Amino acid sequence: TQLLEQSPQFLSIQEGENLTVYCNSSSVFSSLQWYRQEPGEGPVLLVTVVTGGEVKKLKRLTFQFGDARKDSSLHITAAQPGDTGLYLCAGLGRFGAGTRLTVKP
């Protein structure tokens, strides 16, 4: 059983569409992190959320930490082909299985 469950596992959309991916756990975390990984590379940190209910924006990416600090979401507005990659949530050194996003031109 994964400590952090991510959904969907795969997502393929057209350029310009919006999307949301989710990270859920039955455990409470003091913080959660979102990473993006491109083929052949290690993951790179996008954001750390710390406070329950917190919303952080990074250009077209919006991250939310659940009020109970058990879940988080990543929303991408007007997706671009450059957003293609594996999106991973992580807490206390553990990673979810990731959402593999493909954005088609």
Q: Does 44 bind other proteins (CB under 8 A)?
A: yes
User: The sheet that has 19-24: what strands, in order across it?
Assistant: 5-7, 19-24, 71-76, 61-65, 55-58
Tell me which of 70, 91, 101, 103 binds other proteins, using CB under 8 A.
91
Per DSSP, what are the bridge partners of residue 68?
A: none
At 23, is the secondary structure helix, strand, or coil?
strand
Binding segment for other proteins (CB under 8 A), chosen from 33-41, 52-60, 61-69, 72-80, is 33-41
Binders in 5-24 for other proteins, by CB under 8 A:
6
The C-alpha atoms of residue 17 and residue 61 are separated, in whole angstroms, by 13
Using CB under 8 A as the criterion, which residues of the chain lie in contact with other proteins when the complex forms?
Answer: 6, 29-31, 33, 40-45, 48, 50, 86, 88, 90-98, 100
